[in-house]
Amino acid sequence: MEGVGIWISWAAGFLILGWLLKALQRLWWTPRTMEKKIRELGIDGTSYRFLFGDLRESMRLYKEAKLKPMPYSHDIVPRAQPFVAQLAKTYGKVYLTWLGPSPRIIIADPALIREVLLNKTESIGKPKPSRVLTYLLSGLVTLDREKWAVHRKIINPAFHIEKLKRMQPAFSSCCAELVGRWESLLGDKESCELDVWPELQNFTRDVISRAAFGSSFEQGQRIFQLLDELAKLTVESFANFQIPGYRFLPTKTNLRMKEIDAEVNSLLRGIIAKRETALQKGSDVNDDLLGLLLQSNESQMTREEIIDECKLFYFAGQETTSNLLTWAMVTLAMNPNWQSRARAEVLQVYNQEKPDFERLSQLKIVSMIIQEVLRLYPPAIFLLRSVKAPTMIGEYTFPEGVQLLLHVLLVQHDPDYWGKDANEFIPERFSEGISKAAERGGLAFFSFGGGPRICVGQGFAMAEAKMGLASILQKFSFELSPAYTHAPFTVLTLQPQHGAQLILHRL
C-alpha cells in the first residue's frame, strides 16, 4: 500500500508539473515570442505584462472616465474608450496591445480593414470566444468556416426583404403601442420628462420577440432581464477570467452566471418546445427566424445550436437597435433643426398614416440621420478577427495566433477620413450614400461590419429604426432635459450611462 501511495504522489506531482509548465508557456514564453515577432514587423505598442497584459490599466482608465460626464459633444472616444484613445495618440493607426496573454493588433486604418474583412477571409477568421463571453454571445457571431456558412445559410432567408415586409404588422403594432404609451404619459399635459432609453429597449425587445420568435415582449421579459444582468456580470468579471482556472472557482459571480445561463436555456427550450408542438399539429406555419431554425433541425442544427442562435438574437437583436434609436433621439434633441427637417419629411411621406415598409425608402433625410448617428455612436465599437495562418495585410505579415481588433469607433471619428469636423453631427455626409461619405478610401464606415460576415440583421435593424423614429417624429417633438447627463460608455455595446432623459412635447 505504501508503494501505491508513493506512485500516486509521483503521478500527482508530474500532473501538477505538467500543468505548471503548460501555464508558464501560455502565460510567459508564448506571449514573449509573439511580442518579438510583432515588433520585428515594425509595429509598436505596449509591452506584455504578466497574466493580465493591459487589462488592469484599461479598466482603471475606464473606471476613471465613468466618474466624469462630458460636454454636449460627439467627441466621445476619450470617454468611451480612454485606453485606446490614449494609445492611438502615441502609436498611430496600427499598434500592439494585450488582452491578458493574447496579443491584439489594434487597426484603425480603413484600407487595412477592407483587406481583412473583404479579401483575407480564407486565412483570417473569428477567434475562439472566451468562456465568459459564450454565456452571452454564441451562435452565428462566434462561429467560423463551415459551421458559420451552414448557420448563415439557414438564417439568411429570415431577413430577406419579402420576409421583412411580412413583418410589418408586428413592427406597426409595436410602434403604435410605444407612441400610445407616451401619449398616455402626457395625458392632458403638453409636455413631460421621460427617460427614453428603457422605453426604446422595451420597444425593440417587443419587435424582436414578435417578428423573429412569434411571441411577445411579456413572454420574453424574463429572458431580457437575465441577459441584462449577465452582460453587467460579464464586464465586471472579465479581467478575472484571464487567471487560469478562475472560471471553475465557486465564486458568487461565477455561480450566478451559471445560474443565469441555465435559466435562459430552460426558458428558450420551453419556447422552442411550444413552437415544435404547434408545428407538429400543423397549426403554426410561421417562417420567422425560430421557424426556419426548427425546420433545419433534423439535418443541420442541434438543439443546443438552436438555443445559442435564439439567445444571440434575443440579446443582439434588441440591444443594438435600442441603442441606435436612443442616440438618434439624443442627437436630434441636440440638433433641433435636423429634428424639424426629419419631421417635415415624415409628414410629407406619411402625413398621419402609420409608417409602412413600402415608403421607408422615401425617407432620405431620416436615413442620412440614422447613418450619421451610427457613425458617431456605433453600437458595437470594434470587430475582432484571428489570424489562422501567416497572412500579409498591407505591409505587415501577421503571424498565426494574433488577434486583429478592427476599431469601428476610432475610424469613424478620425479626421483623416471624415475631415476636421469628424466629431460634428453632419448627416449630409451620407447624401450620396455610404460609399461616398468618407473623404478617403478603404472601409471608413462599417457599423454593421463588412464582407461576407456583414451583419445578417442589417436590413431588419434599419427598417425597425426608420419606422420607430418616423412614428415618434409624427407625434412628438423633444429636447434634452436638464436632468440629462451626456455620458456614453461601453457595456459590450455603446450606451448612455445615466439614461437619456428628454422633454417630450405633444405636436
Separation between Cα atoms, residue 367 and residue 369, nearest integer Å: 5
Q: SS3 letters for 22-57?
A: HHHHHHHHHHHHHHHHHHHCCCCECCCCCCCECHHH
Question: Distance between terminal CA atoms of the chain?
Answer: 89
- Fold that domain 41-506 belongs to in CATH: Cytochrome p450 (1.10.630)
AA identity, residue 434: I
Q: Which of 241, 240, 205 is nearest to 221 (CA)?
A: 205
Least confident of 3-17, 34-48, 106-120, 291-305: 3-17
pLDDT band at 246 (very low <50, low <70, confident <90, very high): confident
pLDDT at 299 over 60: no
Average pLDDT over the chain reads 89
pLDDT band at 210 (very low <50, low <70, confident <90, very high): confident
Q: Check: CB of residue 109 under 8 Å from CB of residue 94.
A: yes
Q: Give the per-residue pLDDT at 319.
A: 87
- Residue 407: beta bridge partners? 382
Q: Give the per-residue pLDDT at 51.
A: 84
> Per the structure block, which three cell numbers stand in for 214?
412569434
Least confident of 2-6, 78-82, 430-434, 494-498: 2-6
Q: Which of 88, 98, 120 is nearest to 396 (CA)?
A: 120
Q: Give the per-residue pLDDT at 4.
A: 57
Q: Which of 321, 323, 297, 324 is nearest to 309 (CA)?
A: 297
Q: Give the per-residue pLDDT at 249.
A: 79
- Residue 195: beta bridge partners? 501
> Per the structure block, which three cell numbers stand in for 284?
403554426
What is the per-residue pLDDT across 437-451, written as a single tens digit (0 to 9) for each? 877 667 999 999 998
CA angle at 418 for the pair 45 and 500, rounded to the nearest 5°: 90
Separation between Cα atoms, residue 457 and residue 316, nearest integer Å: 10
pLDDT at 187 over 80: yes
Q: Which of 417, 408, 404, 411 is nearest to 381 (CA)?
A: 408
pLDDT at 142 over 70: yes
Average pLDDT value for residue range 198-226: 87
Q: Which helix (H) or strand (E) holds 109?
A: none
* Residue 159 DSSP class: G
CA angle at 103 for the pair 99 and 104, rounded to the nearest 5°: 80
Average pLDDT value for residue range 116-135: 83
pLDDT at 14 over 70: no
Q: Check: CB of residue 381 under 8 Å from CB of residue 368.
A: no
pLDDT band at 83 (very low <50, low <70, confident <90, very high): very high
pLDDT at 200 over 70: yes
Query: Percentage of residues in the chain with pLDDT exceeding 70?
Result: 93
Least confident of 232-236, 361-365, 414-418: 232-236
Average pLDDT value for residue range 60-68: 93
| Burial environment of residue 220 by CB neighbours within 10 A (0 to 12, 13 to 18, 19 or more) | buried
Identify which has the larger pLDDT, 495 or 272: 495
Q: Provide the pairing of β-strand 102-107 with 403-407.
A: parallel
DSSP conformation letters of 463-484? HHHHHHHHHHHHHEEEEE-TT-
What is the per-residue pLDDT across 368-389, written as a single tens digit (0 to 9) for each? 999 999 999 999 999 999 999 9
Average pLDDT value for residue range 129-139: 76
* Residue-range domain boundaries for the chain: 41-506
